[in-house]
Amino acid sequence: MTEVSRQVIADISYPTFLNRSGKGTPILFLHGSGPGATGWSNWQYALSALGDSFECLAPDLVGFGQSMHPDPPPIGISSWMRMWIRQVVDVLDRLGIEKAHLVGNSLGGGLALHLLVERPDRFDRVVLMGAVGVPLRLTRELDLIWGFYEEPSPQRMMQMIRWFTYEEEVNEERLREIAQVRYEAAMIPEVRRSYEAMFPAPRQRHLDEVVVADAALRRIRHPVLLIHGRDDPIVPLETSLYLMSHLGGDVQLHIFGRCSHWVQIEYRERFHRLVSDFLGEGQWRG
């Protein structure tokens, strides 16, 4: 397994905490939006496994983890999305990376879609996992995740973390570890301040604001691999089916049965092989 290094990129618009591993063609990993989420919490296994073949970059998005927390923070997801787009491009510029592969999970998948629309020249192949960014009715689970701070507690964090995996009893010990780490991270004052500003109620509007228009989806010509858990209660499979029928380029869809929202954790070895084959030279058959 490849060693992971950590650094703070301070001399850009939004100072960014970055997890980094490996050498070779760069992959930029974008994490999801759960309370306490970071680049490390979403991508710790991928950073080690895929670092054998690629240069893996997993930043904390602005407002998450150890990256910058604006004070006062903007209210609502649209303003945050503008910051994240600039942050990602600035990180690539600062590292001297002209083009990278892109992997986005959940809200990170929605950010990936916006990056492909606005800066298509900076990205090559793309993996989207349980991505938002298409028309979607807010699920009860996602509403409670985004509303975590209305009643924050370790017990509620554990309840939410269980939703992210299908085989709860198999992963119980590991889920408890994740829930403890995520709760501690979520209760850092600046993390809480940022998160509450991102997702104030009513929360359906935040999903609506990140939707990429159908006409823009058709203009995305990058090769795309869609990955989704069949049993995802947070961002349902229908979102990937929508992307499958609306993206304009070569696109594949891989569905994992008996799997919820965290394919990269529940089926991490198969996920790593799938992503490595897709992103590796000569593997795309489209």
Instruction: Please report the domains of the chain, with CATH numbers, ordered by start residue.
Output: 4-279 (3.40.50.1820)
Side-chain-facing half-sphere of 119: CA atoms under 13 Å: 20
Q: Looking at this protein, which amino acid is placed at residue 209?
A: E
Predicted local distance difference test score (pLDDT) of residue 1 = 72
Q: Tell me the three-class secondary structure of 128-139, residue by residue.
A: EECCCCCCCCCC
Predicted local distance difference test score (pLDDT) of residue 53 = 94
20 to each of 10, 59, 148, 279, how far by Cα in Å? 15, 8, 29, 18
Q: Tell me the three-class secondary structure of the chain, residue by residue.
A: CCCEEEEEECCCCCCEEEEEECCCCEEEEECCCCCCCCHHHHHHHHHHHHCCCCEEEEECCCCCCCCCCCCCCCCCHHHHHHHHHHHHHHHHHHCCCCCEEEEEECHHHHHHHHHHHHCHHHEEEEEEECCCCCCCCCCHHHHHHHCHHHCCCHHHHHHHHHHCCCCCCCCHHHHHHHHHHHHHHHCCHHHHHHHHHHCCCCCHHHHHHCCCCHHHHHCCCCCEEEEEECCCCCCCCHHHHHHHHHCCCCEEEEEECCCCCCHHHHCHHHHHHHHHHHHCCCCCCC
The residue ranges of the chain whose pLDDT is under 70 are 168-171, 281-286
Predicted local distance difference test score (pLDDT) of residue 174 = 83
Place of tokens 């397994």: 1
Rounded CA-CA distance 193/175 in Å is: 25
Predicted local distance difference test score (pLDDT) of residue 169 = 61
241-273 pLDDT, tens digit per residue, is 999 999 999 999 999 999 999 999 999 999 999
Catalytic residues: 106, 232, 261
86-120 pLDDT, tens digit per residue, is 999 999 999 999 999 999 999 999 999 999 999 99
Q: Write down the mean pLDDT value for the chain.
A: 95
Rounded CA-CA distance 44/265 in Å is: 9
- Give me Rg for the CA atoms of the chain: 17
Look at residues 55, 63, 57, 68 and name the one whose alpha carbon lies nearest to residue 79: 63
Predicted local distance difference test score (pLDDT) of residue 173 = 84
Where residue 16 falls (left for φ over 0; alpha for ψ -120 to 50; beta otherwise) is: beta
Q: Is residue 70 reached through a cis peptide bond, with omega within 30 degrees of 0 on the bond before it? A: no
Predicted local distance difference test score (pLDDT) of residue 122 = 98
